[in-house]
Amino acid sequence: MKKRAIFILLLAIILGVITRHYHLGLAPAGLYLDEAAQGYSAYSILKTGKDEFGLPFPIVFRSFADFKTPVYIYLIVPLIPIFGLSAFTVRLPSFLSSILTLPILFLLIQKLTSGKQSGYWLSSLSVLLLSLSPWHILFGRTNFECNVALLIYLLGIYLFYLGLKKPLLLIFSGVVLAVALPAYHSERLLVPLSALFFLVRFNKVLLKPTHLRFALTGLLLAFLITLPLLTIALTPGFLARVNTLAIDPAQNLPGVITGLSGLSNSALNSGFFLRLKDFLALYLAYLSPRNLFFLGDSGPRSSFPDLSTFFFWQLPFYLHGFYLLLKKKDLGEIRNLTLFMLFVSPIPAALTRDPFSTIRALPLVIPVTILISLSLIDIWQRLKTSLRRLLGLAVFGLLLIYSLLKLYSSAIILNEYYRAADWNYGWQQVVEVINKNTDSTLPIVIDNVRTEPYSQVLFFTKFDPARYQRENFEVPLSEYYTNLTRQTTKKIGRISLRGIAWEADLAVKQYLIGDFLAISPEQISNNHLRLIAEIKYPDGSVAFRITLTQPELNSATIK
């Protein structure tokens, strides 16, 4: 049985590598601005020891005043000298985390099922399903911090359970969980709640003399690692994401009945009532089959077209697995941890107003996968005859093949065609044209009214970070975490990123670059612009136009 389980684990890892590595860096085509910003921040740290604003080794990265979590960015830094600054490199930590999650989950389930035969089935089936999980694959192919955070979080939990038998490992568990805390925003809530869960559940073991000093050392080290984060915990920068994404203030909450006044308004439109209802609705949405197996995430970069977070065929197993988990009290510690993760993972996401955010609720993929595996194992055990088992195996095999093909259909074919604009496709091509087809003595203006491409331009031009820090100012470094003012005008050598001022800009010989709205065919003909190149999306529509002004023609027209 152990050999079969390891075989399935290896198969899962191979499938995981195939589904995540195929066209890594190329699909999704395009590099989203956050991905480019993280990549360039890592490049800037590598070259200068400072981020793009000149702060040495930030605790959180200011970026677009959204203060990105630091762990992922620092993970990219050592990869750049090996693989260069590219979309592949910035997505590589996600890929590696995604693959490493598979054996960690396998070992964790093994540990929690105490080496029972059923445990081998559960661990191997869970990692097999996770290797094909659309939810997990999406974040394993793109630059998302949540994926790295999930790996670190699971590793911390695994080390904790090991530490219950070998107390020294409690120290490592504390350290790893402390690193998970700044890895992603959701973990800021999930890790403390998990620590509380372990403290309550295992207080008798942790308070034993054999364990206490190691537990306390682990806690102390965790505190020391978290200290830099705590020093900025109350700054507007650290709280930026919370403030922009939290459930709306009372007056903006859904469900407010208009036309009421006085006592009826206070009672029926009570802020507390509406917020509680909103939170519970958002929370329940994360356990709802409708979202997990059909709708998925509505965000174009958090989902694949025509595919939800799980495959539809897994729906009945989810419901059955849910029932089994509640009914079977003899499952052991795996039951307790799965229940905990199932009901606690949605909390950080449910505190934000987005209806179903797969990024913020990524840890939920683990307990749901375990539920589905539980159900499949239960059904397998009910198939008594070898003919029925053979048939069951054949059906399962067909479903796996179907799932692989469905992934290819949605993640590669449809995603590339329909979501290219959402992934900011085209900026690499724009920079290539700038490098090859433009006069290097002439300035360039890139319109940034509808988007913020400066991170992509920095990334693809591999612009000197030291020069960028000198030539661009946003806020004094002493106000890095407190002042949320943004300068949207950027200077990258001869490239200026700002809105096009038509009258003034047409009078200067320079290149104007913008999207299909900023530089339309009418503007090209009315302003005597010379079209240098058009960058198109995979669906054939125009992404960007690169044009050259002709002041001599414009002034002749005016005369």
Stretch near another protein under the rule CB under 8 A, chosen from 61-69, 91-99, 133-141, 280-288 = 280-288
Stretch near another protein under the rule CB under 8 A, chosen from 40-48, 90-98, 265-273, 477-485 = 265-273
Task: Please name the helix (run of DSSP H) or strand (run of DSSP E) that holds residue 226, with its range, or none.
Answer: helix 209-231
Q: Which of 18, 230, 326, 517 binds another protein (CB under 8 A)?
A: 326
Q: Which of 293, 310, 468, 480 binds another protein (CB under 8 A)?
A: 293
Q: Which of 356, 454, 480, 537 binds another protein (CB under 8 A)?
A: 356
Joined together, the tokens standing for residue 247 give 């459930």
Q: Which of 278, 333, 452, 534 binds another protein (CB under 8 A)?
A: 278
Rounded distance, CA 423 to CA 30, Å?
5
Side-chain half-sphere CA neighbours of 518 within 13 A: 21
Q: Which of 287, 351, 404, 475 binds another protein (CB under 8 A)?
A: 287
The DSSP code sequence of 497-550 is EE---HHHHHTS--EEEEETTTS-HHHHHHTTPEEEEEEE-TTS-EEEEEEE--
Joined together, the tokens standing for residue 189 give 């809530």
Question: Least distance in Å: CB of 281 to another protein?
Answer: 4
326 versus 442: smaller Cβ distance to another protein: 326
Q: Does 289 bind another protein (CB under 8 A)?
A: yes
Three-state SS for 162-190 is: HHCCCCCHHHHHHHHHHHHCCCCCCHHHH
Q: Does 273 bind another protein (CB under 8 A)?
A: yes
Q: Which of 275, 277, 491, 536 binds another protein (CB under 8 A)?
A: 277
110 versus 357: smaller Cβ distance to another protein: 357
Cα 105 → chain centroid: 19
151 versus 282: smaller Cβ distance to another protein: 282
305 versus 392: smaller Cβ distance to another protein: 305
202 versus 313: smaller Cβ distance to another protein: 313
Q: Does 317 bind another protein (CB under 8 A)?
A: no
Rounded to 5°, angle at Cα 280 from 274 and 282: 100
Q: Does 328 bind another protein (CB under 8 A)?
A: no
Stretch near another protein under the rule CB under 8 A, chosen from 9-17, 93-101, 264-272, 372-380 = 264-272
Rg (CA), the chain: 26
Interacting positions 398-417 with another protein (CB under 8 A): 405-406, 408-409, 413-414, 417
Q: Which residue blocks in 383-426 are alpha helix, DSSP H? A: 386-407, 415-418
Rounded distance, CA 87 to CA 67, Å?
21
Number of residues that bind another protein (CB under 8 A): 40
Stretch near another protein under the rule CB under 8 A, chosen from 70-78, 121-129, 276-284, 420-428 = 276-284
233 versus 280: smaller Cβ distance to another protein: 280
Three-state SS for 57-94 is: CCCCECCCCCCECHHHHHHHHHHHHHHCCCHHHHHHHH
Stretch near another protein under the rule CB under 8 A, chosen from 91-99, 198-206, 311-319, 361-369 = 311-319
Stretch near another protein under the rule CB under 8 A, chosen from 41-49, 159-167, 277-285, 469-477 = 277-285
Q: Does 312 bind another protein (CB under 8 A)?
A: yes
Question: Least distance in Å: CB of 165 to another protein?
Answer: 34
Question: Least distance in Å: CB of 417 to another protein?
Answer: 5
Distances (CA, A) of 200 to 193, 194, 203, 206, 338: 11, 10, 5, 10, 16
Whether the CB-CB separation of 546 and 434 falls below 8 Å is answered with: yes
Q: Does 88 bind another protein (CB under 8 A)?
A: no
Q: Does 442 bind another protein (CB under 8 A)?
A: no
Question: Least distance in Å: CB of 414 to another protein?
Answer: 7
Question: Least distance in Å: CB of 290 to another protein?
Answer: 4
Q: Does 257 bind another protein (CB under 8 A)?
A: yes
Q: Which of 88, 197, 202, 323 binds another protein (CB under 8 A)?
A: 323
Side-chain half-sphere CA neighbours of 533 within 13 A: 16
Stretch near another protein under the rule CB under 8 A, chosen from 214-222, 236-244, 274-282, 544-552 = 274-282
Cis amide linkage into residue 236, ω under 30° from 0: no
Whether the CB-CB separation of 495 and 444 falls below 8 Å is answered with: yes
Residues forming beta bridges with residue 496, ordered by sequence position: 445, 491
278 versus 534: smaller Cβ distance to another protein: 278
Q: Which residue has the tokens 């960690």?
A: 104
For 50, the 3-state DSSP assignment is strand
DSSP state of 259: T
Whether the CB-CB separation of 137 and 403 falls below 8 Å is answered with: no
Interacting positions 414-433 with another protein (CB under 8 A): 414, 417
Joined together, the tokens standing for residue 22 give 């195929």
Q: Which of 285, 359, 431, 500 binds another protein (CB under 8 A)?
A: 285
Joined together, the tokens standing for residue 170 give 């409690």
Rounded distance, CA 75 to CA 149, Å?
12
Distances (CA, A) of 157 to 115, 191, 198: 18, 10, 9
- The residues that touch another protein, with contacts defined as CB under 8 A, are 254-255, 257, 267-268, 270, 273, 276-278, 280-282, 284-285, 287-291, 293-295, 298, 306, 312, 315, 319, 323, 326-327, 355-356, 405-406, 408-409, 413-414, 417
